[in-house]
Amino acid sequence: MRIATWNVNSITSRLQRLLAWLESTGTDVLCLQELKCAAEAFPTEPLRELGYEAAVNAGGRWNGVAILSRVGLEDPVVGLPGGPEYEGVTEPRAVGATCGGVRLWSVYVPNGREVDHPHFAYKLRWFAALRELVVRESGERPFAVLGDYNVAPTDEDVFDPAAFEGATHVTPAERRALAELRDAGLADVVPRPLKYDRPYTYWDYRQLAFPKNRGMRIDLVYGNPAFEATVRDAYVDREERKGKGASDHAPVVVDLDLRHGTA
């Protein structure tokens, strides 16, 4: 089974690329982030024509997540259970479903904005709620949390650590939140190095960041031991970051062999 995660930075703007990518890659399950559309505007029909069901958590102009599956979609949960509000609003940042016997969550972790901003404290609270979800749901079956974590796990996951000094995405507090997810029983299942050096997943649109490979690895796949045991390959699809109309994130793809492992 091939699963992937992709921050599409507007599913409306990226729809034709998304449909073409699904067809060309044979992806069975895709976790999406940053839909930037209302629930009623989600492109259910074009995806259904390709054989995909969808679990969607969308609320309008910002945020929004989904899981697309052509191998079944059971027990959907919309929203992060126990997740915090920001300025009185529960933002659409998480959705879960069981697809082909694998329990998956698509997450779009808050950005944090600046270290002394209220959004940063909200980000850490959001991570704490995510950890509680992992503790409750992980269990013995294959389980993974995929998405845009808005944290680079190590200094090797940014093009220049000095460029991020004092900024979010690299702080000890954020990296500690990732460590707490690992302590709860998850592991980063996308190995380093991959088939090239510095397998970033995000490059800013500005200042020729992609051609210069001035990127970050912030789109992650964290799985429990039962999930990790089934992983047979993983890669970042850099080609999908190229060309006119690309998202500023590249898809991260993981191939599973569910006939083996502990599941």
Q: Residues 123-166: pLDDT tens digits?
A: 999 999 999 999 999 999 999 999 999 999 999 999 999 999 99
Q: Name the pLDDT band for 62 (thresholds 50, 70, 90).
A: confident
In three-state secondary structure terms, 187 is strand
34 labeled part of a ligand binding site: yes
Quote the CA–CA distance of 34 and 108 in Å, as a whole number.
7
Q: Is the pLDDT of residue 262 over 60?
A: no
Which is catalytic among the residues 52, 108, 200, 222?
108
Which is catalytic among the residues 28, 157, 222, 249?
249
Q: Is 196 a catalytic residue?
A: no
Give the dihedral of Cα atoms 68, 70, 71, 72; nearest 10 deg.
60
Q: Is 148 a catalytic residue?
A: yes
Which is catalytic among the residues 148, 157, 188, 219?
148
249 labeled part of a ligand binding site: yes
Q: Name the pLDDT band for 194 (thresholds 50, 70, 90).
A: low
Domains with residue ranges and CATH for the chain: 2-256 (3.60.10.10)
pLDDT tens for each residue of 200-259? 999 999 999 999 999 999 999 999 999 999 999 999 999 999 999 999 999 999 999 998
Quote the CA–CA distance of 82 and 126 in Å, as a whole number.
9
Measured CA to CA in angstroms, residue 102 lies from 3, 42, 52, 132, 256 at distances of 10, 24, 16, 19, 10
Q: Name the pLDDT band for 263 (thresholds 50, 70, 90).
A: very low
Beta bridge partners of 3: 29, 254
Quote the CA–CA distance of 126 and 2 in Å, as a whole number.
28
Beta bridge partners of 30: 4, 68
137 labeled part of a ligand binding site: no
pLDDT tens for each residue of 85-115? 999 999 999 999 999 999 999 999 999 999 9
148 labeled part of a ligand binding site: yes
Beta-carbon count within 10 A of 219 CB: 25
Q: Is 108 a catalytic residue?
A: yes
Task: Find out whether 164 and 158 touch, Cβ atoms under 8 Å.
Answer: yes
Direct distance between the N- and C-terminal alpha carbons of the chain, in angstroms, rounded to an integer: 14
